[in-house]
Amino acid sequence: MRTAAGYSPVVAKKKQPRVVVITGAGAGIGRATARRFGADGDKIALLARGEEELEGAAREIEAAGGTALIVPTDVSDPDAMEEAADEVERKLGPIDVWVSNAMTTVFSFFEDIEPDEFRRATDVTYHGAVWSVRSALRRMVPRDRGTIVLVGSAMAYQGIPLQSPYCGAKHAIKGFFDSVRCELRNKGSKVHVTMVQLPGHNTPQFDHGRSKMPGHPQPVAPVYQPEVAARAIHFAAGSRRRQVYVGLPTYYTVLGSKFAPWLAELYLAKTAVSGQQADEPPDAENREGNLMEAPPGDPGAHGPFDEKAHDRSVAWFATRHRWALGGALAGVAAAAGLVARGER
């Protein structure tokens, strides 16, 4: 088509909607991430145990402009994950992006955690990620395309008190992630696996995580809103970054674990037990949490700490625009050098 002036305008092609699978999609970071992909008009499969929260997430996705498919699933069951993946591809098409986000935990000193509690937290958080990657790779590798996003944590590098099941699982996911990436490189596969390392976020996990402590669980400050994590996960799904770090706490946690682990350990021992407990006691009905069974209701994406939570992260902005910022800093340094040389 030509205009009256004789120019041929470039008509932007409409982006094809992606098929996105998100585990732990009913609440918290998974819920916010589903909304972010929904805003792109993507087709999103929502995997979690609680049907009420999945229905709430589906309504938000549809309102944002996406397509939602509810697939009630226990991610700790590898056969259930395979059935879920088959259902997604049968109803929505080939999976383009798989976001592994599901988790559960116990807030407690390690010696007070029962074996069945530790095993369950590990099955959901670690083995749920393993079975997610397994089901995704079985479909993506033969097609030689697709992206898997593992939702990690700064605690994949530095464990903290009262979170031994969760920290152990995130450390395990990090090692698993490294191994799978090596195998894909060996095969020359174009399937991309990335990991997003997060700080503390204001999510319902602090209401629904099983607690054996006197104070209500709370995230280690500074706290971010789940939409901050959602933007990073969405970015990771569309880039080729190996890892994405979110929030300044993640940077100093990773660096501290590498260069001064003894100092990080000393600091956390003195601050993180009290820092993870609010003044009020846990709700009596939530002490058991969602460890064994999904609680009824729809908790949404946000936890009870909206007043404390940041909806932006300067460090995340720097991570996303690292080359531009690096170039700007190099330019400033070069200009300073020229000025100094002129003065001499």
Distinct helix (H) and strand (E) counts, the chain: 12, 11
How many angstroms from the chain centroid is the CA of residue 267? Answer: 26
CA 145, CA 340: separation in Å to the nearest integer?
51
How many angstroms from the chain centroid is the CA of residue 211? Answer: 22
Buried b (16+ CB within 10 A) or exposed e, 149-171: bbbbbbbbbbbbbbbbbbbbbbb
Which residue, 134, 238, 231, 156, is CA-closest to 192? Answer: 238
CA 320, CA 247: separation in Å to the nearest integer?
12
Give yes or no: 166 in active site: yes
Residues with Cβ < 8 Å from 28, sequence gap 6 or more?
201, 203, 204, 205, 226, 299, 301, 303
- Which of these is catalytic: 166, 245, 251, 252? 166
Q: Which residues are catalytic?
A: 166
